[in-house]
Structure 1
């Protein structure tokens, strides 16, 4: 398989503010560009791109991160809900994320990314489609259905597809980039070709989740 996960992207009205929050939380370095985009660098490699957009956030994000956060306290975030083993927070622009307790005996006392989560009306099909393109290993979620992906090339965390009842109504404000040839993505839809200001193709998977193809 030649489809490889590259990095994450987030839309923001104020990229500098959003990037500063995530950089502080995850221990990364924010690198602003002249065009308003801010890259979050891990080991000097882009991990998250925060891009300026004019449209406001509408509704719950359908793509979010699960984090391991010792103590489940996140300065600068808004606590939205509390559960037995995790809390739901929002960053300064309302982007939701979940904070989980560390596993017993875990050595690290710093927040870290645990999973990339994608809402779906048919998570098993979504997981199967991306597994077939990346060669990732499909494993059961808590409900026993095969909707989690492990060993995704280029992604150092679990990829979770989460069952939801609410319909998809707007563009995902968080999305991912991959490196792949066009022939590696049968079943995907090309939404916008490369142009003078971009070298990537904007695409959507069979369930409408936007991603960008490089290469």
Structure 2
């Protein structure tokens, strides 16, 4: 088996009228710069940074209908900075604040103290809802050839993933099953056959990549190693 490595995050965007607002908001929230889409057609800007830090905004025909099953946690100096960039506060909790981006997608903001450096790339972790967090975390740990992390709480996570620029990929328990395509997914470099042999499902093929789903149905894209 060849260990998979991280490429970037991808975020669905439905409303063409909000392409600019979403690109502006997420460039601020993630600490990335905007680059115009190089191809033909009306597409959102790409959000780019260092290796592995990109967020590709992907136009989709379907609107958001349910809570995001994958969301991003971000470092921030003040929640008001994200509100000024276009977010809406949904819930204030003791250690973080839940917000919605301009299309209503949830994210969590972790305020860093004034004496803490705010990193250039501000995605802190990616959090995935799961029916069986331990099982799906162990599955992904095997794909990345890394260890499984747990501190006695219900959530499980992986760290030190090759090419992954943020702290952790976290799987947290939720009571509801997955019902629609995730609006946040990740792109990887790896071997499609290795994923299929391990229990992934092939969803469809593109000229340069293959779309798969993990055992809990979370979509991800696999590119051949460069």
Indicate conservation of the 8 Å contact 2:192/2:210, yes or no: no
The 10-residue stretch of structure 1 (126-135 or 100-109) with the greater mean CA deviation from structure 2: 100-109
Indicate conservation of the 8 Å contact 2:32/2:121, yes or no: no
CA distance in 2, matches of 1:199, 1:108: 36
Show the counterpart of 2:73. 66
CA distance in 2, matches of 1:45, 1:114: 13
Show the counterpart of 1:32. 36
Show the counterpart of 1:171. 181
Q: Name the TM-score, length of structure 1 as normaliser.
A: 0.90
Deviations 1:59-107 (A, max 9, x none): 1000010111122321210000011110000000011000112268522
Show the counterpart of 1:79. 89
Indicate conservation of the 8 Å contact 2:70/2:129, yes or no: yes
How large is the Cα RMSD of the aligned pairs? 2.1
CA distance in 2, matches of 1:160, 1:169: 20
Which structure's residues are more often strand, by fraction?
1
Instruction: Give 1:2 shift.
Output: 2.3
Show the counterpart of 2:10. 9
Indicate conservation of the 8 Å contact 1:70/1:111, yes or no: no
Q: List gaps (5 residues or longer) in structure 1.
A: none
Any idea what SS the aligned residue of 2:23 has? Answer: helix
Q: Report the count of equivalent residues.
A: 211
Show the counterpart of 1:192. 204
Indicate conservation of the 8 Å contact 1:72/1:86, yes or no: no
Q: Name the TM-score, length of structure 2 as normaliser.
A: 0.86
